[in-house]
Amino acid sequence: MGSVFAHRDFRLYQAARLFMTLGAQMQSVAVGLHVYGITHRPLDLGYVGLAQFLPMFILSPLTGDVADRYDRRKVLLCCYVTMVVAMLGLFGLAWGGVTETWPLYGVLVLVGTARAFAGPAGQSLVPHMVSPHQLSSAVAWSSTFFQAGTIV
């Protein structure tokens, strides 16, 4: 039978997913603190979450179709590159001393859009990384890594 971790692609994917999830969670906290530091309004913290959630909600009918029609690896790579560029953009805005929140929200919408497409593309890759009898274990481990990245 063997472990799902015997598959190199599965190990690499889970490591990348864990670090992207950790980065996204740290980014959300940092941006929330930064926005609150600018405005001192708790409502603006809600807008931080909303700016990331709305693209996922609005685009959900489209994202699965994109994952099915195009190479999932390329879709996921584009999403991860977009998220890294967005994180660098947020860093640049903070470093540059931007005192308006709208540029931050704009970048967060971009992050939410990338995450909307990354979810279906990434989830549909797992069955191609392991053998069919290992799929339930792979899905369980995949969920565990995602939850660990969210909790930590």
Residue 109 is which amino acid?
A: V
Question: What does the pLDDT look like over 26-51, one tens digit per residue?
Answer: 999 999 999 999 999 999 999 999 99
- Look at the block and give the residue holding tokens 């191609």: 128
Q: Is residue 77 part of a domain?
A: yes
What digits encode the pLDDT tens for the residues 69-79?
999 999 999 99
Tell me, what's the pLDDT at 152? 76
Q: How confident is the model at residue 2 (pLDDT cuts 50, 70, 90)?
A: confident
Residue 6 domain-assigned (yes or no): no
Is the per-residue pLDDT at 11 higher than 90?
yes
DSSP state for residue 133 in the 8-state scheme:
G
Whether pLDDT at 19 is above 70:
yes
Residue 35 lies in a domain: yes
Domain-embedded: residue 30 = yes
Sign of CA dihedral 71, 72, 75, 77: negative
* Residue 9 falls inside a structural domain: no
The total number of structural domains that make up the chain: 1
Are 63 and 72 a contacting pair, CB within 8 Å? no
pLDDT digits (tens, 9 = 90+) for 92-119: 999 999 999 999 999 999 999 999 999 9
Q: Is residue 115 part of a domain?
A: yes
Does a structural domain hold residue 57? yes
pTM of the full structure = 0.88
Instruction: Quote the domain boundaries for residue 105.
Output: 20-151
CA distances (Å), 150 to each of 22, 23, 24, 77, in order? 6, 10, 9, 20
Q: What percent of the chain has pLDDT over 70?
A: 99
Does a structural domain hold residue 2?
Answer: no
Q: Tokens 């990245």 belong to which residue?
A: 149
